[in-house]
Homo-oligomer: A and B are copies of this chain.
């Protein structure tokens, strides 16, 4: 077994779950803007945001969705996985300072095709679902590579 190896399909079970908590900060939004070029005023202009339905600046939805990528790539199945697809539904706004808990849970295993489907849910500190979706991955084979 090499270091940084994820779980092979035979080491996975339906219902396996991992989670990660993170507070979304103004610095996160700034860096996300810098990387993606997404300077939508809903994320950057407090005065503009005050006139929108959300009343305050909100996080980029894709930033919240990217927390699933961390769990999938580092924990379940983990390193060596091939990321096939991701669906995301942005159900509620995420505000600066919100503590997001991202949870991924295995819901389908196809051993023959070496594919797993995971349910992805991000909750805010009020236990409201802010982003939901599904991910499909190929877990690593032999030794996590």
Contacts and interface: CB of A to CB of B under 8 A. Distances in A.
Contact of A90 (B67, B79, B85): B85
Given A32-B66, A89-B85, A52 B73 contact: no
B62 A65 contact: yes
Given A20-B37, A37-B22, A80 B63 contact: no
A145 B55 CA distance: 11
Interface string A66-96: 1101100110000110111111111000000
A112 B111 CA distance: 44
Contacts of A37: 20, 22, 67, 70, 74
A32 to B, nearest CB: 6
B52 A38 contact: no
B80 A52 contact: yes
Nearest to A143: B51
What number of copies of this chain does the assembly contain? 2
Interface of A: 4, 20, 22, 28, 31-32, 34-43, 45, 48, 51-53, 60-63, 65-67, 69-70, 73-74, 79-80, 82-90, 145
Contacts of A38: 66, 69-70, 73-74
Contacts of A22: 37
12 contacts: A31-B31, A31-B34, A32-B66, A35-B66, A36-B67, A36-B70, A48-B79, A60-B73, A61-B86, A62-B62, A85-B90, A87-B87
